[in-house]
């Protein structure tokens, strides 16, 4: 099975699943031989097989140079103009460096970055010994992407002085005294300094190679061996480990979550908050001390082969650092990442005296276990299979409509996007692909079985990309569903993953993979979602502007159009959409949460235009007090929640506590996460109400019913012939 992907971005979360031994060499920031070979293979692939093949020349070198610097120092808080001038000869030499397999220059630039970062942090720490005057009229310029490089060392030191002053003021406004503030910031800067020492050559190499890859086009990436492993786990939604989500805190590896049914949970010997201080790969080995290790290294040491043994040396959550440790022996098992799988729920909405039941299917990603499917495993993990099962269950629950929630679904398997679409439209084309030669291929299923032939809605936001956009666009073009939310991301390109290890005939993973764009996809109506995304039929309020999503990239491919595919719409929503829009507007006009939301959007837009923040305590306190008063006023205006949603709205606008994520206690972080999960989701509820409106309008008007449902009978009676 070919890994054909539609993926917005590869992201590695701060929390990682316990996993695999790492036999990395000692920390030396010098290019390793496999990296040098991988650079050459990557350059060959990108110059020959990319959808928009771009020569590796001086023009590309300049792009790589600028993008690499931006990845290191986007806010221009580390390098000075003299540093940039020092490396300016390399601006037109990085193409030669890649061709000649000589990575010394990008590594030299990174070493200077590392040195400057250390110098800035040491300077910041030294500033904590002085007293700051918060009565002065002074500001901190926190948005510096468009700024020029500092012209002198004194200029950049003054920028850092104001940054430290802002850090101090944020904590002071949150109620911390001077002693607590100093301790917090000392710890923060020391932690950042310690992390600098943990950097490896693979970090440098991946950063530089992605500066090259994304200079061609935003969704082309180089994935090192570790990133490749994480990518495969994300696609198959499983790994072999102990079933514990780990997190780095205070230079220690902490258990953040235990997966139900996993070895860690079943042992009864581990709990959330326990600290892992040692790991042994076998039952007869002594644990290796992992204090101060990088989280990814600890994770990979714990991960391993199924049914093998791992020993975990644990410091209990409530114990002091000198307390006795507990040695826990576990047998690794296959762990399913169910939190990323499709899920169902039911929302009830009132329609006069009648209650309508809206079945909600939330799909975080279009996942598929490529390897299991290739091997012929009939139980391979698949988003479409899971959704089909959930639809069957929802039918038994006698739901009236289905809402597919694709918010923040960044994409995944192209095959899954097609198969999932055919679950709702039956046989027919879903998407068109055009390759670099201009050849167009229509993709779809000519023998699909419909899993749901009733009313349908799709909820999207700016984080809905690629495969999500294929699905939403197909439902819109067929007149099959009402699309609700905000305009989607706008990624209309197809990626394939090429294994450099396979190219080099390597049995061990040491070269990584290249994810490169090989085609562009088009809707069945001939348009593309590239750049413009999918425009919802009913738009919900949004914090995002026109320059977010794909439009925010400086080298995104343009929008385009080709001939439409041979398809026949299943319905026509033209006349019903204005009625749905009117009911939607009338409803949210009475809803205080949407009024608050619009106020926050206006405030956000105003703040976004600001490039700096005041360092005057009185001014900042006045801003804080005004915000506190507004939050209290909102709480007073909120009416008791109805039976449909006992939860309160999420407190997304809570006051700033001045802390970074890893500085908050694990208990408070987990409590906030739990509160967010159970919070009232006003967008989801409104989307369900819109589907309720649609159902009631269709039931009350024979004309609307005939128009909206004109082709739905074909879902049951016609096998269909797919256009090719």
Residues identified as active-site = 466, 477, 491
Q: Which residues contact 305 (CB under 8 A, 6 or more apart)?
A: 240, 332
Cβ atoms of residues 220 and 517 within 8 Å: yes
In this structure, what token pair is assigned to residue 587? Answer: 């409803």
φ, ψ for residue 275, nearest 5 deg: -110, 130
Vertex 391: Cα angle to 387 and 396 (nearest 5): 150
Alpha carbon distance 454, 256 (integer Å): 41
Q: Which residues contact 543 (CB under 8 A, 6 or more apart)?
A: 600, 601, 604
87: helix, coil or strand?
helix
How many other C-beta atoms lie within 10 A of the C-beta of residue 544? 16
Alpha carbon distance 394, 352 (integer Å): 23
Alpha carbons within 13 angstroms on the beta-carbon side of residue 586 total 9
CB burial of residue 449 (10 Å; 0-12, 13-18, 19+):
exposed
In this structure, what token pair is assigned to residue 169? Answer: 């003021």
In this structure, what token pair is assigned to residue 73? Answer: 């120092």
DSSP H or E run through 162:
helix 153-173
* Nearest C-alpha neighbor of 485 from the set 647, 694, 219, 691: 691
Q: Which residues pair with 459 in a beta bridge?
A: 405, 484
Unique residue bearing structure tokens 């009350």: 700
Cβ atoms of residues 130 and 58 within 8 Å: no
- Residue 559 carries which DSSP code? P
DSSP notation for 196-215: HTT--HHHHHHHHHHHHHHH
In this structure, what token pair is assigned to residue 40? Answer: 């050459």
């Amino acid at each position: 099975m070919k890994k054909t992907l539609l993926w917005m971005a590869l992201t590695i979360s701060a929390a990682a699943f316990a996993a695999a031994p790492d036999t990395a060499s000692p920390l030396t920031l010098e290019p390793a031989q496999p990296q040098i070979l991988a650079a050459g293979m990557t350059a060959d692939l990108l110059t020959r097989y990319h959808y928009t093949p771009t020569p590796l020349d001086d023009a590309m070198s300049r792009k790589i140079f600028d993008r690499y610097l931006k990845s290191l120092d986007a806010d221009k808080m580390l390098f000075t103009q003299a540093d940039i001038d020092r490396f300016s000869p390399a601006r037109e030499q990085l193409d030669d460096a890649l061709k000649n397999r000589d990575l010394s220059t990008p590594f030299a630039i990174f070493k200077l970055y590392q040195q400057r970062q250390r110098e800035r942090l040491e300077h910041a720490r030294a500033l904590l010994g002085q007293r700051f005057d918060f009565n002065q009229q002074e500001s901190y310029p926190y948005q510096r992407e468009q700024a020029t490089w500092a012209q002198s060392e004194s200029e950049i030191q003054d920028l850092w002085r104001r940054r430290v002053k802002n850090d101090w003021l944020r904590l002071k406004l949150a109620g911390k005294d001077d002693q607590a503030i100093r301790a917090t910031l000392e710890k923060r800067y020391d932690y950042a300094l310690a992390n600098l020492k943990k950097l490896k050559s693979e970090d440098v190499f991946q950063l530089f190679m992605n500066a090259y890859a994304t200079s061609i086009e935003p969704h082309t990436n180089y994935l090192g061996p570790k990133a490749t492993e994480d990518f495969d786990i994300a696609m198959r939604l499983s790994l072999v480990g102990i079933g514990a989500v780990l997190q780095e805190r205070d230079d220690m590896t902490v258990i953040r979550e235990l997966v139900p049914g996993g070895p860690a949970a079943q042992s009864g010997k581990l709990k959330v908050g326990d600290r892992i201080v040692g790991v042994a790969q076998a039952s007869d080995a002594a644990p290796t001390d992992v204090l101060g290790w990088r989280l990814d290294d600890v994770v990979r040491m714990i991960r391993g082969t199924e049914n093998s043994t791992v020993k975990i040396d644990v410091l209990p959550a409530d114990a002091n650092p000198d307390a006795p440790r507990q040695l826990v022996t576990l047998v690794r098992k296959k762990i399913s990442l169910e939190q990323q799988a499709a899920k169902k729920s039911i929302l009830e909405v009132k329609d006069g005296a009648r209650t309508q039941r809206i079945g909600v299917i939330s799909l975080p990603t279009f996942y598929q276990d490529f390897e299991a499917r290739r091997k012929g495993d009939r139980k391979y993990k698949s988003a479409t299979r899971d959704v089909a099962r959930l639809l069957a269950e929802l039918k038994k629950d006698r739901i009236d409509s289905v809402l597919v929630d694709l918010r923040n679904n960044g994409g995944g398997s192209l095959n899954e996007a097609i198969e999932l679409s055919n679950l709702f439209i039956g046989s027919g084309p879903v998407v068109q692909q055009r390759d670099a030669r201009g050849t167009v291929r229509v993709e779809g299923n000519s023998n699909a079985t419909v899993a749901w032939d009733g009313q349908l809605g799709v909820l999207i936001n700016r984080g809905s990309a690629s495969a999500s956009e294929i699905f939403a666009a197909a439902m819109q073009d067929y007149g099959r569903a009402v699309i609700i939310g905000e305009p989607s991301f706008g990624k209309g390109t197809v990626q394939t993953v090429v294994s450099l290890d396979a190219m080099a005939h390597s049995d061990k993973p040491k070269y990584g993979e290249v994810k490169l764009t090989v085609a562009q996809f088009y809707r069945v109506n001939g348009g593309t979602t590239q750049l413009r995304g999918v425009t919802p039929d009913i738009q919900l309020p949004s914090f995002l502007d026109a320059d977010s999503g794909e439009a925010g990239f400086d080298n995104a491919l343009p929008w385009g159009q080709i001939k439409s595919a041979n398809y026949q719409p299943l319905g026509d929503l033209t006349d019903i959409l204005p009625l749905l829009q009117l009911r939607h507007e009338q409803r949210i006009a009475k809803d205080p949460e949407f009024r608050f939301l619009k106020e926050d959007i206006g405030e956000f837009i105003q703040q976004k235009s600001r490039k700096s923040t005041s360092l005057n305590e009185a001014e900042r306190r006045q801003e804080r007090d005004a915000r506190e008063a507004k939050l209290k006023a909102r709480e007073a205006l909120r009416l008791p929640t109805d039976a449909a949603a006992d939860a309160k709205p999420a407190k997304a606008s809570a006051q700033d506590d001045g802390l970074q994520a890893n500085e908050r206690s694990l208990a408070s972080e987990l409590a906030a996460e739990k509160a967010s999960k159970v919070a009232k989701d006003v967008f989801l509820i409104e989307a369900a109400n819109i589907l309720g409106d649609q159902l009631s309008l269709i039931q009350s008007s024979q004309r609307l019913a005939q128009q909206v449902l004109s082709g739905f009978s074909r879902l049951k009676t016609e096998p269909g012939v797919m256009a090719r």
